[in-house]
């Protein structure tokens, strides 16, 4: 729900109260170019924690293109109610700021987890669990004609063994067909960009397949398969050695290596598509028990259900 509200009160404790619903604390969870993310909670029930993205609507962030991108991100997120996609709860717009209220993930992100992992290498079972949850999320996104364009470890949040796609700032809908290459803006993070984005040629939803393949490889072996300082450097390495190579150690099953190989095929038209990935038996049994116990289609996890019930009971919406 997007609405205008001018009732912003500053309390003496250093927290901000937004209208009669939310309290934003001074505990900063993250910071980007145009936004800061703070810990918050429901005013009526402080035990219900939320993440609050605060965006300044001035300077560069007030230009029409930025606001259009922000609007698109909000409208895309509003469509999803899935345990592996970060939940959007509410949006409040003031004259000079916008607040986006999101599900909070207490366990950080995959980038942090990789950094803290010994030798930055993960067991195959854990990698399969992560990939299978991402596949579940992308199935819903594919059905809604949405591509992410910036899938990377920093944009995969973690909450109690659940991996959640976040930051839909570069996401967009494809109306020309998900598997038909289109001339789109070059967004993303170079290490995880598909070759088509790196060299500025048309690409399809398979750009996200490539990114997920890179992340899976990185978790298994400690580094992405191709490394470079700049986008041209990375593209050169990919074109120079187009077939992904797997070290002998650690040992990884042939099934997973074959899947990653197909995900990291250079040409868009030859790379495995999402529908083919969805049909793979490789990921079907790799869900955590907390997901197996729930009917996950179009239903939030228990934390989200609790929060949504609180919204409805306290505020009637």
Place of tokens 């429901």: 42
Active site residues: 150
Q: What residues are paired with 98 via a beta bridge?
A: 55, 93
Place of tokens 């207490």: 106
Three-class SS state of 157: strand
Spatial CB neighbours of 119, under 8 Å, sequence gap ≥ 6: 222
| 20 within 8 A of 28, measured Cβ to Cβ | no
Spatial CB neighbours of 222, under 8 Å, sequence gap ≥ 6: 119, 120, 121
Q: Is the alpha carbon torsion for 103, 278, 254, 287 positive or negative?
A: positive
Helix 206-221 to helix 254-263 angle (10° resolution) is 140
**Per residue in 35-64, is it b (16+ CB within 10 Å) or e — as a string?**
bebbbbbbbeeeebbbbbbbbebeeebeee
Distances (CA, A) of 306 to 1, 112, 225, 309, 314: 18, 27, 41, 5, 12
Q: Is the alpha carbon torsion for 186, 33, 95, 86 positive or negative?
A: positive
Length of the chain: 317
């Amino acid at each position: 729900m997007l609405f205008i509200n001018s009732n912003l009160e500053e309390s003496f404790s250093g927290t901000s109260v937004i209208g009669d619903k939310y309290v934003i604390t001074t505990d900063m969870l993250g910071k980007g170019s145009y936004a800061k993310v703070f810990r918050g909670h429901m005013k009526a029930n402080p035990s219900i924690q939320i993440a609050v993205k605060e965006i300044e609507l001035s300077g560069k962030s007030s230009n029409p293109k930025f606001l259009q991108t922000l609007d698109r991100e909000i409208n895309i997120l509003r469509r999803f109610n899935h345990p592996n996609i970060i939940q959007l709860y509410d949006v409040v717009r003031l004259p000079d700021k916008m607040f986006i209220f999101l599900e909070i993930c207490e366990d950080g992100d995959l980038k942090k987890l990789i950094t803290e992992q010994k030798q930055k290498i993960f067991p195959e079972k854990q990698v399969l669990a992560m990939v299978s949850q991402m596949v579940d999320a992308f199935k819903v996104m594919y059905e809604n004609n949405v591509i992410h364009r910036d899938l990377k470890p920093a944009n995969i949040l973690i909450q109690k063994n659940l991996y959640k796609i976040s930051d839909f700032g570069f996401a967009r809908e494809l109306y020309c067909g998900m598997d038909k290459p289109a001339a789109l803006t070059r967004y993303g993070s170079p290490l995880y960009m598909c070759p088509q984005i790196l060299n500025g040629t048309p690409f399809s939803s398979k750009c996200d397949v490539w990114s997920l393949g890179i992340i899976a490889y990185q978790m298994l072996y400690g580094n992405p398969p191709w490394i470079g300082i700049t986008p041209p450097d990375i593209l050169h390495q990919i074109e120079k050695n187009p077939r992904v190579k797997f070290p002998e150690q650690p040992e990884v099953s042939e099934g997973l290596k074959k899947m990653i190989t197909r995900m990291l095929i250079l040409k868009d038209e030859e790379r495995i598509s999402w529908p083919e990935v969805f049909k793979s038996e490789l990921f079907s049994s790799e869900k955590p028990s907390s997901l197996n116990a729930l009917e996950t289609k179009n239903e939030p996890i228990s934390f989200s259900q609790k929060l949504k019930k609180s919204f409805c009971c306290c505020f009637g919406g």
